[in-house]
Amino acid sequence: MDEPEAGGLNFHEFELDDRVLRDIARMGWISPTLVQEKAIPFLLEGKDVLIRARTGSGKTAAFAIPIIQNVLRHKCETAVRETSVLVMAPSQDLCHQIAKVFTSLTYSCGPVVRVADLSSKEERATHRHLLAERPDIVVSTPARLRAVLADGSLNVRESLRCVTIDEADLMFSFGFKKDLKEVLKHFPPVHQSVLCSATLEADVLALKQLILHSPVILKLEEPQLAVGSQLTHYQIQAEEIDKAAILYTVLKLKLVQGKCIIFVKSVDRCYRLKLFLEQFGLRSCILNSELPIKIRCHTVNQFNGGVYNTIIASDETLAENPTVVKKKHDKKPSTKQLLQQTEAESSVSRGIDFQCVSCVVNFDFPSDINSYIHRAGRTARGKNNGSVLSFVSVNELETKGRVEEFLQSLANDAEFSMKNFNFNFDEVEAFRYRAKDAWRAITKISIREARIKELKMELFNSEKLKSFFEENPRDLQTLRHDRPLHTVHVQDHMGDVPEYLVPAALKPMVELMNAKRKKKLNEKHVAAKKNRRSKADNPLLVGGIDYAKG
């Protein structure tokens, strides 16, 4: 049944446990978002709910808060420790993000409420150890959950009270249909079920028939993307080499302020773009499904914390062509199918909570409307403003037209069109000349070497330093993921922007940037000079060896 909208509420009006309210306040949440305000009361009552709300609307907290409240309420009635909640999501990254929200919201509960994340590629023995402690809440992809239910590591036939599926519209397209059907066989006949999705497509309706019973359907009266002045859409028609020149100019001259996510269509394109920007002293980090999950999550956390300003990401193959995983459960899957399954569980293009993103750049225009929605949904989240800058080649004009029609329907304006990004190549011809040489310097071999080099570095960071970082968590904050890869020759002078190259309108801003840069260099020079002088004044320091310590 469809429910009417309710009146406005604050978190304390939901009659939540004081420990949950403390953790909500600790996370800086003042009042519930629209989806939280509508969903939490129904979930607290134990009703089945289908939530359709756009990306960035706060769906995770909408189901996490009532789940934790219900777990605490049940623990007041019984002291038995058991797994009563299962949360499924289609990717490892999203599972880690959900588990992190649950952990943050149970911080004040101490050991009373335990959360386990089974999505990582750990040995089965590790999962058995986690489940032996009977965590209250288990977060997992359907495939991992199916495995632990099948081998008896987890048994929820008597204890399960709530099942939640996030990003439900991706479950079937990511090849989890058979996994879900097998998992459902292990559930008791009576339990609360929750589906969360950005759309109400056929796959979601099929899932609804499978797991929901007389659900409340929350179709929130909000567009799939922020509208009006909150989110501005720009477009510029450009071919391959001009895209690179425009991006270099925009980033170097600070025409894009704040944090930025650049989307391309493949992982190879990520590395091509990183190597291109590297030649001009522009640092960036890549979200790549080949990298260890802990590194990917650490990268996102540091980006959210302001350590980096630029992330390059790609739409995963599966998001563009869902049919590639339909044969995932063949008896003898090929190496290619196994790789595609891994990519499905490692997708970074959907659902990840990037915070305070000022601009999304579509370096390669998205392949369809859904991809545009999910990319653009990375910015203008909550009440923040944002913008989307799309580069459009001749071959992409048709897709761009369909996206504009969709945006017209959101804005209720038949004359709506993406704003033209005014960029005069005549004023920055020298930038264009530099960009062409830098773009052509990147070869397939240099891209392959860059991928291998970063993979080796991050595997080392993830595995070899794991125990060290557990003992020294502060040092983990210094681990960076935007280091230059140096598989393409970098000329030092390319990182500078001579004033004669800068358009007259931007010269004051560039002069200020250069002054700040010179000040930093002078400070480093003075510090190095003092260090050399102190070593020269120390008679016990000979040849770089401090004999006073000996």
Which pLDDT tens digit goes with each residue over 53-71? Answer: 877 788 999 999 999 999 9
How does the average pLDDT of the chain come out, rounded? 81
Q: Do 295 and 443 share a structural domain?
A: yes
Does 235 score more than 80 pLDDT? yes
Q: Do 201 and 112 share a structural domain?
A: yes
Cα of 338 vs its chain's centroid, Å: 23
Domain assignment of residue 369, yes or no: yes
Spatial distance between the Cα atoms of 182 and 138, rounded to a whole number of angstroms: 17
Residues pairing with 286 in the sheet? 312
Lowest mean pLDDT among 274-283, 345-354, 365-374, 385-394: 345-354
Q: Do 441 and 305 share a structural domain?
A: yes
Q: Do 264 and 215 share a structural domain?
A: no
Higher pLDDT, 97 or 509: 97
Note the pLDDT of residue 538: 56
Q: Do 62 and 135 share a structural domain?
A: yes
Note the pLDDT of residue 317: 40
Lowest mean pLDDT among 19-33, 122-136, 394-408, 452-466: 452-466
Does 165 score more than 60 pLDDT? yes
pLDDT band at 201 (very low <50, low <70, confident <90, very high): confident
Higher pLDDT, 430 or 85: 85
Domain assignment of residue 337, yes or no: no
Residues pairing with 85 in the sheet? 137, 162
Among 177, 195, 219, give the residue marking a domain's end.
219
Question: CB 303: neighbour CB atoms within 10 A?
Answer: 23
Q: Do 282 and 154 share a structural domain?
A: no
- In angstroms, the Cα distances linking 378 to 40, 247, 306, 344, 375 are 24, 19, 16, 19, 6
- The length of the chain is 550
Long-range contacts of 470-477 (CB under 8 A, 24+ apart): 476/298, 477/302
Q: What is the mean pLDDT of residues 207-227?
A: 85
Domain that holds residue 230: 224-317+352-502
Q: Do 161 and 27 share a structural domain?
A: yes
Q: Do 259 and 117 share a structural domain?
A: no
Does 332 score more than 70 pLDDT? no
Q: What is the mean pLDDT of residues 264-287?
A: 92
Among 219, 250, 283, give the residue marking a domain's end.
219
Note the pLDDT of residue 347: 46
Domain assignment of residue 324, yes or no: no
Spatial distance between the Cα atoms of 11 and 68, rounded to a whole number of angstroms: 14
Domain assignment of residue 534, yes or no: yes
Q: Do 508 and 434 share a structural domain?
A: no
Among 165, 185, 219, give the residue marking a domain's end.
219
pLDDT band at 257 (very low <50, low <70, confident <90, very high): confident
Share of the chain above pLDDT 70, in %: 77
3-state secondary structure 112-168: HCCEEECCCCCCHHHHHHHHHCCCCEEEECHHHHHHHHHCCCCCCCCCCCEEEECCH
Share of the chain above pLDDT 90, in %: 43
Note the pLDDT of residue 505: 66
Domain assignment of residue 30, yes or no: yes
Domain assignment of residue 335, yes or no: no
Domain assignment of residue 233, yes or no: yes
pLDDT by residue (tens digit) across 114-147? 999 998 766 778 888 889 999 999 999 999 999 9
Spatial distance between the Cα atoms of 258 and 550, rounded to a whole number of angstroms: 50
Q: What is the mean pLDDT of residues 396-423?
A: 88
pLDDT band at 178 (very low <50, low <70, confident <90, very high): very high
Note the pLDDT of residue 170: 84
pLDDT band at 545 (very low <50, low <70, confident <90, very high): very low
Note the pLDDT of residue 233: 94
Does 79 score more than 80 pLDDT? no
Note the pLDDT of residue 402: 94
Q: How many domains does the chain have?
A: 3
Lowest mean pLDDT among 150-154, 188-192, 304-308, 533-537: 533-537
**Angle 203-207-209 (CA atoms, 0-180°, nearest 5)?**
120
Q: Do 102 and 133 share a structural domain?
A: yes
Higher pLDDT, 486 or 399: 399
Note the pLDDT of residue 327: 39
Does 318 score more than 60 pLDDT? no
User: Integer distance in angstroms from the first to the last C-alpha of the chain?
Assistant: 80
Note the pLDDT of residue 310: 94
Domain assignment of residue 263, yes or no: yes
Q: Do 496 and 508 share a structural domain?
A: no
Note the pLDDT of residue 480: 66
Residue 541 corresponds to which tokens in the numbers above?
Answer: 């320091």
Q: Is 88 helix (H, G, I), strand (E, B) or coil?
A: strand
Note the pLDDT of residue 321: 40
Higher pLDDT, 43 or 475: 43
Do residues 199 and 52 lie in contact, with contact meaning Cβ atoms separated by under 8 Å?
yes
Note the pLDDT of residue 389: 95
Token pair 């071959």 in the structure block, residue: 395
Token pair 């009361």 in the structure block, residue: 41
Note the pLDDT of residue 89: 93
Lowest mean pLDDT among 19-23, 214-218, 334-338, 445-449: 334-338
Note the pLDDT of residue 329: 42
Do residues 132 and 35 lie in contact, with contact meaning Cβ atoms separated by under 8 Å?
no
Largest CA distance in the chain: 85
Q: What is the mean pLDDT of residues 183-199?
A: 92
Q: Do 200 and 67 share a structural domain?
A: yes
Note the pLDDT of residue 398: 94
pLDDT band at 346 (very low <50, low <70, confident <90, very high): very low
